[in-house]
Copies of this chain bind each other. A is one copy, B any other.
Amino acid sequence: MSAAEQPWPRDGLFARLRAACAPEWRRYVEHDFVRELARGTLPERAFRHYLGQDYLFLIQFARAYALAVYKSSSLQDMRDGLAGLKAILDDEMSLHLRYCRSWGLSEADVEHLPEAPATLAYTRYVLETGMAGDLLDLRVALAPCIVGYGEIGWAMARDPATRRDANPYRDWIATYGGADYQAIALSAAAGLDRLWQERAGGGRFERLVRIFGEATRLEADFWQMGLSAG
């Protein structure tokens, strides 16, 4: 596939951050967990561990979206944050629990899981960085997850190496490679540019690179946590 078809913005803040953190980004989006999931060779135990932690992760990400609403200085920013918060608390969490059940994890199983160190490190880093900084810092800390899953899903859905038939993870691929999630991810990337215009300049880019790079490393650690449980 030619770069021209790649829908991910080649300009703008997200593209600049990704370029500035290229090695970390590659370790994240091309992690073995991702590769094996696409090929259907990921051990089910690894996926199940990831699924359970992803539920605990969602709870903290809902808190991060609530923080984004609190941190907003315009109604537009408040509504953007609320959309993410509702998506998680009203829809994704119950979808996630249903999906967990299809993998043999009951609601009770999932709710009593302790948070793995990788879950804890990533989610608290995002929340704390967002609280200490402003809305742009928070949105940049969220981007490797929100935009990154879109890029991973998009690439996976189009990669000839992806196993489509009888891949136990086809639902996951369909979700993140699907049009609905792609729209969410692109809108999050566009939102970063708007916030940059409104707030940032000067040496701020370097600080945002640090946040983006740290969050990307923590995302890769999250895959590794899953893979190591396999």
**Is A152 at the interface (CB under 8 A from chain B)?**
no
Which of A73-81, A98-106, A160-168 has 4 or more CB atoms under 8 Å from chain B? A73-81
Q: Mark A48-73, 1 if CB is under 8 A from B, else 0.
A: 00000000000100110011011111
**Is A188 at the interface (CB under 8 A from chain B)?**
no
Q: Is the CB of A199 within 8 A of B198?
A: no
**Is A118 at the interface (CB under 8 A from chain B)?**
yes
**Is A117 at the interface (CB under 8 A from chain B)?**
yes
Task: Give bound CA distance, A230 to B71, whole Å.
Answer: 34
**Is A7 at the interface (CB under 8 A from chain B)?**
no
Q: Which of these, B66, B131, B137, B202, contacts A69 with CB under 8 Å?
A: B66
Task: Give bound CA distance, A131 to B130, whole Å.
Answer: 10
Which of A32-40, A119-127, A179-187 has 4 or more CB atoms under 8 Å from chain B? A119-127
Give the interface centre of A67, A70, A200, A218 by most chain B CB atoms within 10 Å: A70
Q: Is the CB of B69 within 8 A of A85?
A: yes
Q: Is the CB of A82 within 8 A of B86?
A: yes
Q: Is the CB of A200 within 8 A of B201?
A: yes
Give chain B nearest CB distance to A94 CB in angstroms.
11
Give chain B nearest CB distance to A4 CB in angstroms.
30
Task: Give bound CA distance, A200 to B134, whole Å.
Answer: 11
Q: Is the CB of B132 within 8 A of A73?
A: yes
In the complex, chain B residues whose CB is within 8 Å of the CB of A118: 117
Task: Give bound CA distance, A118 to B86, whole Å.
Answer: 32
Give chain B nearest CB distance to A63 CB in angstroms.
5
Q: Which of these, B70, B81, B204, contacts A199 with CB under 8 Å?
A: B204
Q: Mark A5-47, 1 if CB is under 8 A from B, else 0.
A: 0000000000000000000000000000000000000000000
Q: Which of these, B72, B86, B117, contacts A86 with CB under 8 Å?
A: B86
Task: Give bound CA distance, A86 to B90, whole Å.
Answer: 11
Q: Which of these, B69, B93, B137, contacts A134 with CB under 8 Å?
A: B137
Known: A199-B203, A202-B198. A125 touches B133 (CB 8 A): no
Known: A78-B62, A203-B197, A207-B198. A120 touches B131 (CB 8 A): no
Given contact pairs A66-B85, A127-B128, enumerate 7 new A-B contacts (beta carbons under 8 Å). Answer: A66-B69, A79-B89, A86-B86, A117-B118, A120-B121, A120-B214, A199-B202
